[in-house]
Structure 1
Amino acid sequence: MIKSIQQFEENGAKNLTGVLEKFLKDPQQQAEFIYGITDSVVQLGLDMIAETFESMDEELRNSGYRRRNWVISRRDETSLITSLGTVRYCKTLFKNKKTGACEYLLDRIMGLESHVRMTEDAQAQMLEEAVDSSYRKGGIRASLSEKVSKQTVKNKIHDLKFHTKPEKIENKKQVSYLYIDADEDHVSLQYLEKKGDITKPRSNTSMPKIAYVYEGAESEAPKSERFKLINPKYFGGIYEGSKGVEQFWREIYEYISATYDMDAIKQIYINGDGAAWIKSGRKFIAGSTFVLDKFHMQKYITAATSHLMDSSEDARSELYGAIHKRAKWMASETFEKILNITENEAQRKKVESSMAYILGHWDGIMQGLRNKETQVGCSAEGHVSHIYADRMSSRPLGWSKHGVHQMAKLRIYKANKGNMLELVRMQKQELPMAVGTEERIYLSSEMFRSESKRLTEEQRYVERITHSIPFPEVKKIAYFKNHIWGL
C-alpha cells in the first residue's frame, strides 16, 4: 500500500485540493464537490487493493519455501470486479514440480476459484438488490463504477445453492403450541427450461410453495391492532409431485425437531386453504392438525351468496349459523336452498363449487372452532404477497421454472434474515490441497524476527509518512507468510 499512498500524496491530494477550491468558489456546487471527493477516495481504494494483491504475489515469487514445490511459469494481467470498482493487477502462474499442474497460487490463498471474476462483496451487493428489484438493477448495484450484465446476475442466482439442514441446538425450546401457515403463489412462466418449450396453455404457470413455522402472534405495540409473528421460520420453493411435497414437509419437520422439544408441544396447527399438499402435512408433522383458513371460508361463502341481492345477508347468516352450531347437515340444506333459487348457470357453478369446498373441509372448519384461545388467524395470503408476489407475480415478468425456484429460495432466505455475504461464501467449493504441502516449521514469533530484518528502506517509509498506517508492513508480510507455508 506504500506506493498507492505515496501516489495519493503526490497526485490525489492535489486533485482533492482542486475539488475543494472549486467548491469554495461556488458553494452551490456541493454535488460536484461530493462526487469529486468520492472519485478520489474510490481510486485510492482501488489502487491500495491492487498494490496489496501484487505485493502478495511478489512475496510468492520471492519465497524460498514456495520454490520447494513450485516454479514460476509466467505472469499475467487480470482484473476483479469489487464493490468499489474494477481492480486490475498482475499475478503469477506457478507450475508444480511433481505433478506439472499449473495454478495461480495467489488465487488459492485468497480463496478464489479459477472462474471467479467478482469479489464476494460485489456479489453480496448484487444479490441484495436483485432479490428486491430486478437482475438489471442488481448488476448496477454490484459495483460503484462497473456495471454487471443482467445475464451475469441471472446466472449467479440460478447457480446458488441453499443449505436446508437446520442448525443443531443444544437446549431446545419448550413451547406448548406451534403454528404452520402454508400457501402458494401463481407465477407466469416465459419458458420451462428454454424459450419456446411451452406448448400447452396451462403449463405456463409455476406455483412456488411457502410455509412458515411460528410460536404465535403478539401486538407490535401497546394498543396496536397490528400483530407480528413470534420467531417465524420460512420455507419455500418449487416442490412438485408427491416426492416434492414430502421433501418440503420433511424440511419443515427437521427444523421443528431440531429447534423444539417435541415432548413439550401439545398441538401443532397447520393453517391453510385446504389444498391437498397442505393437508398432507399432517402425515409428516407428528401431533399436527389442519385448520381451514377463515379467509378462504369467507371467500367461498360470499361467492355462494353474493348473487342473492337482498337475501344474500340472510343466506350468509344461515351458513355461519350452521358452522357455529357444528351442523354440517344444516349447511348442506342451506346450500341446496340457494341452488334451488339460482337460475344462472355460471352462478350455479359458483354455488356448487362453494358447497363442495365448505363441506369438503368441514373438519378443518370445526377444528378452527375448538380451543379458540390457543389458535391464531392464518396470514398466509399476506405473506405470499409480501415474500413472493412483490418480486415474482405482481408485475408482468417472464420466468423459467428454475428461475422461479431460485428466486423463491432467495426471497425465503432474506425473510429469514439471511446475510447475503454469508450466502455468497457458502457457494465456495473447498479448494484441493496443493501437492507437496508440508507441516509448518516456523513459529509466528520466529517469522516476525526473520522478516523484520528484510524490510527495505521503502517499506520503512511507512514509519515516517505523516499518514499513519494501522497495519505495519512487517506484520502484513509475516501474516501472509503463514499462507505461503501451506503451499
Structure 2
Amino acid sequence: SLDLKAKLLENATHMSYHRSAQHGGPARQSSSTVMHVVHEKGKLITALDQLNHEKRQAPMVLFVEADEDHVAHQDGTSHFLKMVYVHEGYDQRCPGRFSIKEPVYVTGEYPGPIGTEELWRTVKDLIDAKYQGEPNQFFLAGDGANWIKAGADFLPNCTLVYDKFHLKKTCQQAAVGIPGNIGLILMQGCLQGERKYLEDYFQVRLSDPQLRMTERKTIQQARTRIRSNWSSIKANTDSSFHGCSAEGHISHVLSERFSSRPMGWSQAGTDSLSQTRVFVMQNGHVLEKLNMVNQKIQKTKRKIRVDDRISVLFKADQEKYASAVNGAFVALKRGQGRMWQRALMRGHGDPWGYPSVK
C-alpha cells in the first residue's frame, strides 16, 4: 500500500534499509523491498517540494553555500554526493550558536559537466520559484572546486568566496614540517591580502634542500590552491558576507546517513534518498507527497482513456464518411465524369460549356 511505502521511505532517510524494514509495520519486509521503494518513490520527491508557501520578495543579498561528501559505491569506487543550499543569512540563537534563515537544499551526485549544469539550473529554478525579483548580490561560498565555481555562471552579480574552514586547512598544509602556529599566521596573511609575504614564504620553504618529497608536494598543492583562489579568499572580509557553514551541513545532512559507516551505495539510491532526507528534515510529509503524485497519475490515465474513446469514435465516423465519398466518386466515374474527362484529354472542350484546355 502507498502508506506502507511512504513509511519505509521515510524511515530509510535516517536508518538502514534493514532497520527500516523492521519498523515498517506488523508485516515482515525485506531490505530489498525498502531499496526498491527508495529507487521507485524517492525519485518523485524533488527540490521544489520544499516550497510550501507563496513567493516572497527577494532580499538584497542571498547566500549560496556548496560542498560534497565522499560516498562509497558498491563497485568499490568513491563518488561525490554534492549539496547546495540557499539562505538569507544567519540568526544568532545564543552566544556561539547560529541558525540560517529560510534554507532550501539541492543534493545528489550530478556527475560530470552535464550533471554540474543540471545541478545549477535546478538551484536557479528553486530560487526563481521561491522569490519574486532578483537579489542585488549573491555570495557563493565553498572549497574552490570547479563544480562550485561553475555556479557563478548561473547566478547574477555573484561573488565567489573560498571559505575559512578550507583556507585554514590549506594554510596548515602549507606549514607542514614546521612546529607552532605558522598555519594561523599564513591564514591571517591571506585574509589581509599580504600576497608578497605568502609568495616569499613559499619560495623559502620550497628552496629548502632538506625538504622531503611528500612535504614538498603538499606545500606545492597548498600554494596552487591559494593562488587560484586568491580573489575568493579576500572576499571573506566583505562586510556583507556572514561566513560559511557548509562543512557542518555536510556532516549533519549527508555524512550521518551516507558515509559515517561502512556502506555501499548506487547512484539511484543516493540521488533518491538524499533529496528525500532533506525533504523530511524540512518537515515535509512523504505520504502526502506520494498521494499527490498518485492522484496526478490517475488523472492522466483517465484523460488518456477518454482520448482513446474519442479517437475510436472519430475513426468510426471517418470510415463512414470515407465510404460515402468513395461511393460518390465511383458513381461519378460511371456517369458524366467520364464524358468531361475524355473531352478534356482530347481537347474537344467541356460538355457543360467550359472552354477546352490547349
Query: TM-score of the superposition, structure 2-length normalised?
Result: 0.77
Is this contact kept in 2: 1:273–1:293, CA < 8 A?
yes
Change (3 A) 1:401 1:353: same
**1:218 maps to what in 2?**
91
- Match in the other structure for 2:66: 182
Counterpart for residue 227 of structure 2? 359
| Equivalent position of 1:388 in the other structure | 254
Alignment-derived partner of residue 130 in structure 1: 12
Provide closer, same or farther for how the CA distance between residues 419 and 170 of structure 1 changes in structure 2, counting only shifts above 3 A: closer
SS of match in other structure, 1:175: coil
| CA distance, structure 2, for counterparts of residue 153 and residue 427 of structure 1 | 19
Change (3 A) 1:307 1:283: same
The equivalent residue for 2:245 is 379
SS at match of 1:207: strand
Match of 1:278, SS state, is helix
1:168–1:258 contact (8 Å) kept in structure 2: no
Alpha-carbon distance between aligned partners in 2 of 1:274 and 1:157, rounded to the nearest angstrom: 32
Q: Deviations over 1:211-233 (max 9, x none)?
A: 10000011124xx3211111110
The one-letter amino acid paired with 2:71 is: V
1:427 is displaced (CA, Å) by 4.3
Is it true that 1:234 corresponds to 2:105 in the alignment? Answer: yes
Contact 1:234–1:415 (Cα < 8 Å) also in 2: no
Which letter maps to 1:227? F
User: How far apart are the structure 1 equivalents of 2:183 and 2:64?
Assistant: 32
**1:9-53 per-position Cα deviation (integer Å, ceiling 9, x unaligned):** xxxxxxxxxxxxxxxxxxxxxxxxxxxxxxxxxxxxxxxxxxxxx
Can you list the C-alpha shifts for 1:277-299, whole angstroms capped at 9, x where unaligned? 00110001112111011000000
Asked whether the equivalents of residues 328 and 359 of structure 1 are also in contact (C-alpha less than 8 Å), the reply is: no
User: Cα 1:394–1:169, aligned 2, differ >3 Å: closer, same or farther?
Assistant: closer
Q: Is the 1:271–1:378 contact (alpha carbons within 8 Å) kept by the matching residues of 2?
A: yes
The letter of the residue matching 2:160 is F
3-state SS of paired residue (1:158):
helix
Relative distance call for 1:315 and 1:295 in structure 2 (3 A) is: closer
Correspondence for 1:368 among 222, 236, 257: 236
Shift of 1:324: 3.8
Please state how far the C-alpha of 1:170 moved relative to its aligned partner: 5.5
Q: Which residue of 2 aligns with 1:403?
A: 269
Q: d(CA) in 1 for partners of 2:24 and 2:181?
A: 56
Question: CA 1:135–1:321 in structure 2 vs 1: closer, same or farther (change >3 Å)?
Answer: closer
Aligned residue pair count: 300
Q: Distance in 2 between matches of 1:271 and 1:213?
A: 11
* Inter-partner Cα distance in structure 1 for 2:187 and 2:47: 42
CA contact (8 A) 1:290 1:367 kept: yes
Aligned match of 1:209: 82
Q: Which moved more, 1:208-217 or 1:334-343?
A: 334-343
Mapped partners of 2:183, 2:268: distance in 1: 46
Aligned in 2, Cα 1:435/1:259: closer, same or farther, shift over 3 Å? closer
1:123–1:424 contact (8 Å) kept in structure 2: no
Q: Deviations over 1:141-194 (max 9, x none)?
A: 221x21111111100101122234576976532311110110011111113xxx
| Equivalence for 2:203 | 336
- Letter aligned with residue 147 of structure 1: R
Report the Cα distance in structure 1 between the residues aligned to 2:257 and 2:189, rounded to whole angstroms: 41
The aligned runs of 1:26-41 (5 Å cut-off) are none
- CA change 1:386–1:320 in 2 (3 A) is closer
State the percentage of identical aligned residues: 30
Instruction: Measure, in 1, the Cα distance between the counterparts of 2:260 and 2:107.
Output: 18
Structure 2 residue runs of 5 or longer lacking an equivalent are 308-358
Q: What is the DSSP-based 3-state SS (H/G/I as helix, E as strand, rest coil) of the residue aligned with 1:151?
A: helix
Q: CA shift at 1:412, angstroms? A: 2.3
Give yes or no for contact 1:301–1:316 (8 Å, CA) kept in 2.
yes
Give the 3 Å change call, closer, same or farther, for CA 169–328 of structure 1 in structure 2: same
Question: Does the alignment pair 1:347 with 2:231?
Answer: no
Report deviation, 1:413: 2.0
Whole-angstrom distance in 1 between the partners of 2:74 and 2:230: 38
For residues 171 and 181 of structure 1, the distance between their equivalents in structure 2, rounded to whole angstroms, comes to 21
Q: Letter of the 2:45 partner, please give it.
A: F
Report the AA paired with residue 398 of structure 1: G
Equivalent residue number for residue 149 of structure 2: 279
Tell me the distance in 1 between the aligned counterparts of 2:80 and 2:280.
19
Who wins on radius of gyration, i.e. which is larger?
2
Contact 1:234 1:416 in 2 (8 A): no
Q: Is the helix fraction higher in 1 or 2?
A: 2
TM superposition outliers: structure 1 runs of 4+ over 4 Å? 164-171
Bigger mean CA deviation after superposition, 424-433 or 287-296: 424-433
Query: CA 1:362–1:153 in 2, change beyond 3 Å: closer, same or farther?
Result: same
SS at match of 1:394: coil
SS at match of 2:170: helix
* Structure 1 residues 225-304: aligned runs within 5 Å: 225-263=96-134, 265-304=135-174
CA contact (8 A) 2:47 2:105 kept: no
1:369 positional shift: 1.7
In the alignment, the residues of structure 1 paired with residue 132 and residue 221 of structure 2 have an alpha-carbon distance, to the nearest angstrom, of 41
1 CA distance for matches of 2:157 and 2:52?
22
User: Larger RCO: Structure 1 or Structure 2 (Cα < 8 Å, ≥ 6 residues apart)?
Assistant: 2
Give the whole-Å Cα distance in 1 for the aligned partners of 2:200 and 2:231.
Answer: 18
Shift of 1:131: 0.9
Contact 2:143 2:163 in 1 (8 A): yes
Match status 1:151 vs 2:43: no
Closer, same or farther: CA 268–239 of 1 in aligned 2, 3 Å: same
SS in 2 for 1:159: helix
Structure 1: give runs of 5+ residues left out of the alignment: 1-117, 192-197, 199-203, 437-487
What letter corresponds to residue 57 of structure 2 in structure 1? K
